[in-house]
Each structure stands twice: as C-alpha cells, then as structure tokens.
Amino acid sequence: MAAVATAQVNGNGEAHITTPAQVGSGVPAVSWLGSAVSSGSQSSPMNGSAANGVPNGATNGGSTSNGASASAAALLDPTAQHLLYVLLDSNLPTGGFVASSGLESYAKHGFLRPRAAEPYAPGQTSAVGTAELAAPSSAAAMGPSKAGPALVGFADAEVENYAASTGFYVARGWAIVREHAGDADAGAGVDALVALDKAHEATLLSHVARRASKAQGIATLSLYFRGLSAPPGFESAADAAVRDLVDGYRNRIRRGLAPGHLATCWGVVTAALGMDLETSLHLYTFTHTRALLSSAVRLNIIGPYLSTQLLSHPMRDLLSKTTGASPAGPGESAGDADWSWADEAEHGPATTWPLGEILAARHDLQHSRIFNS
C-alpha cells in the first residue's frame, strides 16, 4: 500500500512534510513555514503547482532542490496525490508485463554475475563480474546473496541508460501538451508530438527496443482514454480540450503516421492528467524499475520477497541518483545559436550502456524466450 503524506510541526512553526515520492525514491523532506500549508489549498490540474504557499526548499547535502519542492507542493493537492496512487497500481494494463528490459538476453548470454569487491581484482579481466559466471540460462545459478547484487549491478546500468535515452522525450511530450492545451485548433500540437515521436524512433537502436516501446506506448494511450480520462458528465472544458489534442495524436498513430513510443505517450498522458513534470519523470523511471524486478522474478533469478527488498533499499538510492539529473526542460537550451549544438549534445538523449543495447538487440536470437524484449 502506498504511504500517506505526513507532517510534523516543530517549535519554530515549521512543518516537515514527508510525501510518498520521498518514501519511494529518497527525495528529501521539504521544509515549509507553518502558515504556508493550508488544508484547503488546491492546485489547478493544468498548471501542476500549489495554489497556496511557497516552499523554503529541500536540502540535500547542503544544496537546495527547487524541483523536489515543486513536486512536494503538487503532491499536497489531493487531486494530484490521488492521481499518483492510481498510476502506481502495478495491475494497470500498460503492456510492461511482457518486457524484461533486456534482462532475459543479458542473463542468457552469461553476463549476469555479482560485481567484484574491487575493480580489476587479481585473475579478473573486466571491472564488472567475478570468475564465477552465471549459467547461460534464464534461471541463474546463484543464491540470494549473489543474485541480489548481480541484479542491482544490471539495474544500475540499465536504468541509467533508460533514463538518459528516453527521459528527454517524456519531458518534451509533457511540455508540448502543456503548451498547446488551450489551442482552439489542436493541429499544431499534434504535429509537434508526431515529429517528437519520429525523432524518438530514430534514436532507438534496435527493432527489439522499438517493438517493446511501441507496444507499451499504445497501451498507455488506450489506458488514458478507457480508464484515466474524466468520464462523460464529469469532463470540464479544459479536460475536453486536452482530450482532443491527445485524441488527434492517437489517430495519427492508428493511421501509421506516428510510431507511438512509450516515452512520448507517457509525457502526453501525465501532462493531460495534470501531473507535474518532475513527478512524471520519477514515476516513469520507478515503474520501469519495478517492471524490471518483476521480470527477474518470472525469470527465476530472484524471489518475490527479495524483489521487494531490492525495490525498497538499493533501488531507492538508484532512482534518487538517476532522477536527480532530469533532462533539460523547454527553453533551457535557448541562447546563442552558435552554441545550440553544444546544448543539444549535453542535454539531448544519449545511450550510456552500449553493451546492454547490443545484448538487448540479440533478444530474438535466443532459442527460447518468455519476453518480447
């Protein structure tokens, strides 16, 4: 069960609020002045900001994180908090159940093994692994004390690569919906989403990655229309305008004019539902990590209890590290046109783990397999 936000007021009149985002990800508590928190404050679902109160900021190692403060402010809104609980449901039909994020191929090729205590230890030929290799089968011949560290080592590289290569498209899809939500004609917004989606198609490095991404993206859009959008009789004018924009994008996908990749669709859907960008990116990475652990259970690499332990502890730190450097938002690369290429290279999508991409591309070469990626 998801944790409920709690607050403690100290003698100085400051309320220290712990949100579900902090519990699941390691995001630090946010310090608010007592007068800034109001039980009646609510935010508009289309602007993702708190109506009352401005946070003093979140401190982490002496630094201030405005992004964490904004996310916590949004979660104070009961509507935003309820939406987060809904999207955290692992039973939502988003298509992720059939994807292993490259783990099945990685284990079959014999690369799933615990990390060495020290890089390049004696008798070792690489910085990752020991002399004991996993058997080339989906059921790794390791006990919990070795399987857990081995899986965390895989997740550390894979989740970072996933966030670096696709998080940019989540942010851009989210921004396009927010920018064009109030347009009388949704055509410009739809065209921008299609162009973004095609760019994402070009950056995915294998047919396996494209296949899994499109299956989950289309499932996410279907979930929005069938289960997450406001039902008839409860839809506001703003909801209807956003729905028209998303519907136009979905029609382009149906006509084969856009691929419908998960990152783009996730950004579109979370923006349409009124979720703030930071929470959207964190939830995007969290659900991917949870699905990865679920696939490890079905591959008989770890058990369900160890999966929960890993998600609660080492994955918390991993997610905090991965989502701490969010992709550049709209306008961050504005400035001298002569340096736009440098901004693009620094903030644009990038692959950080070539080995994982290569092994994932070999997924269909396995003699037997239970996942589609």
Is 354 or 137 the better-scoring residue by pLDDT? 354
Q: Domain check: are 217 and 278 in the same one?
A: yes
Is residue 43 included in any domain, yes or no? Answer: yes
Q: Domain check: are 126 and 70 in the same one?
A: no
Is residue 370 included in any domain, yes or no? Answer: no
Is residue 190 included in any domain, yes or no? Answer: yes
Q: Domain check: are 146 and 64 in the same one?
A: no
Of the residues 30, 54, 87, the one at which a domain ends? 87
Q: Domain check: are 202 and 83 in the same one?
A: no
Q: Domain check: are 30 and 156 in the same one?
A: no
CA distance 328 to 106: 31
Q: Domain check: are 17 and 131 in the same one?
A: no
Is residue 156 included in any domain, yes or no? Answer: yes
Question: Strand, helix or coil at 254?
Answer: helix
CA distance 238 to 299: 44
Q: Domain check: are 66 and 165 in the same one?
A: no
Is residue 371 included in any domain, yes or no? Answer: no
Q: Domain check: are 11 and 129 in the same one?
A: no
Is residue 373 included in any domain, yes or no? Answer: no
Question: CA angle 98-103-107, nearest 5°?
Answer: 130
**Phi, then psi, of 151 in degrees rounded to 5:** -70, -40
Count of domains forming the chain: 2
Q: Domain check: are 295 and 148 in the same one?
A: yes
Q: Domain check: are 256 and 322 in the same one?
A: yes
pLDDT at 219 over 50: yes
The domain of 242 spans: 96-365
How many other C-beta atoms lie within 10 A of the C-beta of residue 210? 16
Q: How confident is the model at residue 36 (pLDDT cuts 50, 70, 90)?
A: very low
Is residue 243 included in any domain, yes or no? Answer: yes
**Per-residue pLDDT averaged across 220-226, rounded?**
95
Is 235 or 272 the better-scoring residue by pLDDT? 272
Percent of the chain with pLDDT over 70: 66
Q: Domain check: are 225 and 305 in the same one?
A: yes
Q: Give the residue among 157, 196, 161 at the shortest CA–CA distance from 176.
A: 196
Is 61 or 198 the better-scoring residue by pLDDT? 198
Of the residues 53, 87, 121, the one at which a domain ends? 87
Q: Give the residue among 73, 135, 130 at the shortest CA–CA distance from 107.
A: 135
Of the residues 45, 69, 87, the one at which a domain ends? 87
**Strand ordering across the sheet containing 30-33:** 6-9, 14-18, 30-33, 57-60, 63-65
Q: Which long-range contacts (CB under 8 A, 24 or more apart) does 354-358 make?
A: 355/111, 355/157, 356/102, 356/106, 356/157, 356/158, 356/161, 357/102, 357/161, 357/205, 357/206, 357/209
Contact 285, 322 (CB under 8 A): yes
**Per-residue pLDDT averaged across 330-335, rounded?**
45
**Per-residue pLDDT averaged across 194-210, rounded?**
95
- 349-363 in b/e burial notation, b at 16+ Cβ within 10 A? beeebeebbebbbeb
Q: Residue type for 85, please?
A: Y
Q: Domain check: are 83 and 168 in the same one?
A: no
Is 141 or 241 the better-scoring residue by pLDDT? 241
Contact 72, 30 (CB under 8 A): yes
What pLDDT does 119 receive?
Answer: 40
Is 212 or 334 the better-scoring residue by pLDDT? 212
